[in-house]
Structures are given as structure tokens and as C-alpha cells.
Amino acid sequence: MKNTQPETGAFFPRDRDWHPKAYTPGYKTSVLRSPRNALLSLGNTISEITGPVFGHDMLGERDNDLVLNFAKPGASAIGERIIVHGRVLDERGIGMSGVLLEFWQANAGGRYRHKKDNYLAPLDPNFGGCGRAITDENGAYSLRTVKPGPYPWPNGPNDWRPSHIHFSVFGYGFVQRLITQMYFEGDPLIPLCPIANAISDPEAIKRLVAPLDMANTIPFDARAYKFDIVLRGRRSTMFENRPEGN
């Protein structure tokens, strides 16, 4: 840990043209769930720049190992064994330590362990589909899992989600909170996906596609994919107006 005070600068504003818009009719569920009024733009106060801390001591040994964390003793999840790893950075390129990442995904057949998922593909008795990690001092994280399968979903008459892993990311300030999805290099379903295409800028979609990483692939065991995540950066507090004076 660095022996310096935590940063308290306001976060950079979000680029709302880079993120998906609220109303994206190609993704039908957004139609009734998208606010129609303009967002109210405000500067950060202490309510926004603060956030809770998650300690490494809360993690169990297998929290980031979806191959084993729901499996019976001696068993493991069915599917293509993969490792996903990367760093959490802020927009200034600074590695962020202590960031809580939570993952969830379908099993290798494209089925979620959730009461609302009734897709034909079977559940895997040894796969739960959730995991979590906290970034190390350089902002790095990793998880081991099986590659999730694509699955059909009721939107258009024949829509299929590309293989993806959901990521929930908790940075330092409550307004850095982010949920996103990781896709896999080379998946032909990505350009067809109404949810990926809710993002209008193709460059932005690319940031969610993890490349195959042969350098970190473990021979005869598991392929690796690299997925970096960027959270909002923040202003330096130099020359900031302060109520107590400068």
C-alpha cells in the first residue's frame, strides 16, 4: 500500500456518446425501461467521490475459480477451460488496486443457473456461474472458468447472444460503478447482437472484445484471454477551490 492520502478529486465526466444510449429500440426491453428526460448534469460532491472498500480477506480461495467453486469434490465444470486476466485502470492509465470484480456467465451450453432461464441446454451440476476477485497492487486480476456458450433470447425472432462474461466493477467512488460484458475475439455473433450494438461506436464495442492471449495460455490446460477494464479517471486536486480557502 502506498503511504499517501487517497485521492479526492472529482471524476471525469462520462462520455455519454461512447456509452450505449438508454433508448436503443433494437434491444426491445430498453424501450419501456429508458428514461426520456435529459439527465441532470451535476458536479461531484463528497457523496459521489467516496465509496466502500472491499478487503482481500473477504475472498475465499476459489472465489475466482468458476471451474471448481461450485463443483463437487473431485469434479469440475464441463467446457473449454479458459483463464481471463487483465488490469483495471482509470482513464489516466493508472492501475487501480483493491477494485472488486464480480463475474457471472452461462455454462458451456449457454444455460444460466437461474430460475428464470429455461433454455433447452442442460445445467451443469458442477457449474454455478459466479465468481469474484479483488485487483492486486498493480490493478491485475484473473479468473478461471469455462467458455460460456452462446444462447438464444427472446428479442427478435432469432437473436443469439455471443459468448460473454458479465463483469460488475466497483472502483473507489460510487459514481465509478460500472457493469459491462466481455466478449471473445472472433465470435461472429458479436456484430449481430442487439445488446452489443446498443453501443453505437464500433471502436467502443472493440474495447469489450478480449483477444486470445497465447503467451499466458497454459499448455495442455487452459487458453487465456486478456480483458482490461477502464474506469472513470479523476481530476488532480491542484489549485482546487476549497471552502477553507487556498
Partner 1 sequence: MVQSLDFLKESPSQTAGPYVHIGCVPEFAGIKGVYPDQLGAAMVNDKTRGESIVITGRVIDGSGTPLTDAMLEIWQADADGLFNSPAELRGTADPNFTGWGRQPTAGDTGVYLFETIKPGRVPFPDGSLQAPHISFWIVARGINIGLQTRMYFGDEKKANSEDPILNRIELNTRVKTLIAASKGNTYTFDIHLQGENETIFFDI
Sequence-ordered list of residues with C-beta below 8 angstroms from that of 120, at least 6 positions apart, any chain: none
Site for partner 1 in 213-242 (CB under 8 A): 229-233, 241
Q: Which is nearer to partner 1, 104 or 141 (CB)?
A: 104
Block residue for cell numbers 437461474: 114
For residue 208, the minimal CB distance to partner 1 (Å) is 6
Q: Do 124 and 107 meet the contact criterion of CB atoms below 8 Å apart?
A: yes
Site for partner 1 in 26-55 (CB under 8 A): 27, 29-37, 39-54
Site for partner 1 in 116-175 (CB under 8 A): 116-117, 128-132, 166, 168-169, 172-175
Which strand (E) or helix (H) includes residue 179? strand 178-184
Q: Is 72 in the site for partner 1 (CB under 8 A)?
A: no
Q: Which is nearer to partner 1, 45 or 246 (CB)?
A: 45
For 1, 5, 231, the CA distances from 241, given in Å and listed in that order, are 29, 18, 25
Q: Which is nearer to partner 1, 116 or 214 (CB)?
A: 116
Q: Which of 55, 93, 188, 219: binder of partner 1 (CB under 8 A)? A: 93
Q: Is 56 in the site for partner 1 (CB under 8 A)?
A: no
Q: Which residue among the candidates 62, 166, 223, 235 is catalytic per the annotation?
A: 166
Cα separation, 196 vs 205, in Å, equals 7
Q: Do 88 and 229 meet the contact criterion of CB atoms below 8 Å apart?
A: yes
Q: Is 181 in the site for partner 1 (CB under 8 A)?
A: yes
Note if 112 is an active site residue.
yes
Buried b / exposed e over 155-173, threshold 16 CB at 10 Å, is beeebbbbbbbbbebbbbb
Q: Which three cell numbers stand for residue 124?
A: 451443469
Catalytic residues: 112, 151, 161, 164, 166
